[in-house]
Amino acid sequence: MATFVLVHGGGHGGWCYKPVAQRLRALGHEVHTPSLSGLADRAHLMSAAITLDTHIADIAGLLEFEDMAGVILVGHSYGGMVITGAADRKPERVGHRVYLDAAYPRDGESLYEHAYDAIHAARQGLHDIDGVQLVMAPMPGMAAFFGVTDPVLGPWTDARLTAQPWQCFEQKLMLRQETAMRAIPESHLICTSTISGRDMDLLTQRSEGRVWDIDTGHDLMLTEPDWVATRLDAIARL
């Protein structure tokens, strides 16, 4: 069976993978769902020093200290920036990269540049708390922004969202071992509604055709956990 590290997106935490992780573990896989520094159960670590590099170091450190090898590294949304950086830092420990409706950055690109329309809209809510510039302040009904509209799941999600340090979106991803990182197999699970903003030819070429889409909200790991877990299990069996 495979080892998965599931990396969440902006404003989320490891909690968002609970339904998918339960399904993967039931299939016999080892699953890690870390929360990135300053978010969710690690919100008490919030500081002005947190950047994209911090979050890359979070995941690269987990791979190193848990002595993992052949890991299937999954990133959702902003998490695509993080897993690209972590696979670049520790290519010898990663066996597959999976982009879950995620950012797919180039070297030297920030998420702000990569997904300008969405991130610029979020930037309008920029605010300062204790010297930290934050965006995506949680509020009732915010889960709907991520496509979670179920009357039970929506409030559950709202109660767990946390604000994101703006620097994470603004800092450019600087790759160190891009050739080795790109050589790691990759797959893409995409929400149908976001396909128009992607270079599907590039994704199909680089993933050797491993691109699947589903018509659901951006938080597909919450809205369609069976589909996501089934695809991840299939990737593990390649």
Q: Find where tokens 């603004």 sit.
A: 170
Q: Find where tokens 């994704």 sit.
A: 203
Angle among Cα 157, 162, 164 to the nearest 5 degrees reads: 130
- Please answer whether residues 173 and 153 qualify as being in contact, where contact means their C-beta atoms are separated by less than 8 angstroms: no
Residue 187 catalytic?
no
Task: Give just the sign of the alpha carbon dihedral 138, 60, 218, 195.
Answer: positive
Dihedrals φ, ψ of 224, to 5°? -135, 60
> Which amino acid is located at 178 in the chain?
E
Exposure of 21 in the CB half-sphere (CA atoms within 13 A): 16
- Please answer whether residues 36 and 58 qualify as being in contact, where contact means their C-beta atoms are separated by less than 8 angstroms: yes
Catalytic member of 35, 37, 47, 77:
77
Catalytic positions are: 77
